[in-house]
Amino acid sequence: MAEPQTPPRPLAALATGVRHFLLALQFFTRIPITGRLAAWVGYSPAMLRASAAHFPGVGWLVGGASALVCAAALWLLPAQPASAWVAAALATAASVALTGAFHEDGLADTADALGGVVERERALDIMKDSRIGSYAAVALVLALLTKVGLLALLAQHGTALAAAGLFAAHVTSRLAPLWIIRTLPHVGDTPRSKSKPLADAIGVSAGIVGLGWWAAAMALVTGLLPSAPWGAAVAAAGGMLVAMRRWLRRRLQGFTGDTLGATQQMTELAFYLGLAVGLGLQARGWG
């Protein structure tokens, strides 16, 4: 009897990549991966660690869905200034629904833990508390208001710009945590932490895959809208990432799962802000 043939190595590598992407999708969104598909994907801590390479790929889906909601709302609603605000709110709601407020929860816990002047161990204890404190409430309200306001501003400059900005921001902001994981140690309650598999630094190959997802997204938006100030948006997100890393290193000497969510949220906001500021500079002839 003939020996069963193993898949060619390129096909096996592709299948592994798809499994890791679907695992990232399962872990970071509410998109159901169930039944036979879930059985095929499988799970192990090593697989979850490898799936970190596809965080920006999750941004393709979440950002793409949010962009479609924004574009559809702007097309269906009357041509009034308030429509931009409604579209921005609906796009934000779509991203929150898709992720189950996963990253917003991380922002809230991080704000409660690091908003006050407390010792490192006390800050780590606060992050484990599921209750919402004053710092968390303020951070969430300000973050959502700022996000909706910036998206409304972009929407008033055109549907294409708002949709492309949403898409690119979600991908870029999910690349940012990879650098945190790569350059800082995990300091959470490792035995019980959901981010335990990420405690080990991700490899160079995972970083390259993540950069590939991001580079493809930026190539797409710059090809569609070459005159938009994408450089300012990326620079603002990069600056926020550097600031977040320095803050986490100083306060915690490392990262937790919650701080990765906070990093995603803050770099997403910074991307929108950089894009909006870039538009203002272009309008003044400085871009």
Taking only the tens place, the pLDDT of each residue in 237-266 is: 999 999 999 999 999 999 999 999 999 999
- What's the confidence (pLDDT) of residue 54? 93
Q: What is the mean pLDDT of the chain?
A: 90
Q: Give the least confident one: 43-52, 153-162, 184-193, 259-268.
A: 184-193
Q: 172 and 271 in contact (C-beta within 8 Å)?
A: yes
Q: How confident is the model at residue 191 (pLDDT cuts 50, 70, 90)?
A: low
Residue 276 tokens read as 């909006």
Note whether residue 24 is domain-resident: no
> Can you tell me the distance from the alpha carbon of 191 to that of 152, in angstroms, rounded to the nearest whole number?
42
Q: 268 and 169 in contact (C-beta within 8 Å)?
A: yes
Domain that includes residue 78, residue range: 54-283
Q: Which residue has the higher pLDDT, 277 or 206?
A: 277
Note whether residue 146 is domain-resident: yes
Residue 286 tokens read as 């400085």
Q: Which residue has the higher pLDDT, 178 or 116?
A: 178
Q: Which residue has the higher pLDDT, 24 or 90?
A: 90
Number of structural domains the chain divides into: 1
Note whether residue 26 is domain-resident: no
Among 273, 266, 280, residue whose Cα is nearest residue 103: 266
Note whether residue 49 is domain-resident: no
> Can you tell me the distance from the alpha carbon of 141 to that of 147, in angstroms, rounded to the nearest whole number?
10
Note whether residue 2 is domain-resident: no
> Can you tell me the distance from the alpha carbon of 180 to that of 183, in angstroms, rounded to the nearest whole number?
5
Note whether residue 42 is domain-resident: no
Chain centroid to Cα 206, Å, comes to 16
Burial readout 191-204 (b: 16 or more C-beta within 10 A, e: otherwise): eebebbbbbeebee
Q: Give the least confident one: 27-41, 82-96, 180-194, 268-282.
A: 180-194
Residue 60 tokens read as 């393709």
| Predicted TM-score of the model (pTM) | 0.92
Q: Can you name the residues that pair with 186 across neighbouring β-strands?
A: 255
Note whether residue 117 is domain-resident: yes
pLDDT at 140 over 90: yes
Residue 15 tokens read as 């299948």
pLDDT at 201 over 50: yes
Note whether residue 16 is domain-resident: no
- What's the confidence (pLDDT) of residue 86? 98
Q: In this structure, what DSSP letter does residue 196 have? A: G
Q: Following CA atoms 247, 251, 255, 256 in sequence, which dihedral angle do they give, to the nearest 10 degrees?
A: -120
81-99 vs 55-76: helix crossing angle, rounded to 10: 150
Residue with structure tokens 């968390």?
136
Q: Can you name the residues that pair with 255 across neighbouring β-strands?
A: 186
